[in-house]
Amino acid sequence: MTTIQFIKQNGILIGYCAFGHSGFSQKGEDIVCASISTAVQMTATGIKDVKKLKPTIQYQEEPAKFSLVLHHSYQEAQDLLETLYRTMVELSKQYPKYVKLEVIEKC
């Protein structure tokens, strides 16, 4: 199962972390994992290259993990973060055995 954690601070999205393999299919053929990977990477590209913000990004292949956290300029990225969140909500509805969403509040 892939878990996607959305991180909020004072009710505002400031980042996300996706980890684990969905297990829908074999590595290289898993459309659920590919969908999640594409969406989180596209969001990161939009935040870094289009919005010109400087998030902290961490990536590792095994075990699979991708995280992005903004330390300032949260409002400038809300449209992209909200779009990712809504995309993951829909994906978790379509594949509830393979995708888990969590929203955590950062102190």
Q: pLDDT by residue (tens digit) across 2-44?
A: 999 999 999 899 999 999 989 888 888 999 999 999 999 999 9
- The pTM score is 0.91
CATH level 3 topology of 2-105:
Alpha-Beta Plaits (3.30.70)
3-state helix, strand, coil split of the chain in percent (to 5) is 40, 30, 30
> Which residues make beta-bridge pairs with 51?
none
Boundaries of every domain in the chain: 2-105
Q: What are phi and psi of 39, to 5 degrees?
A: -65, -45
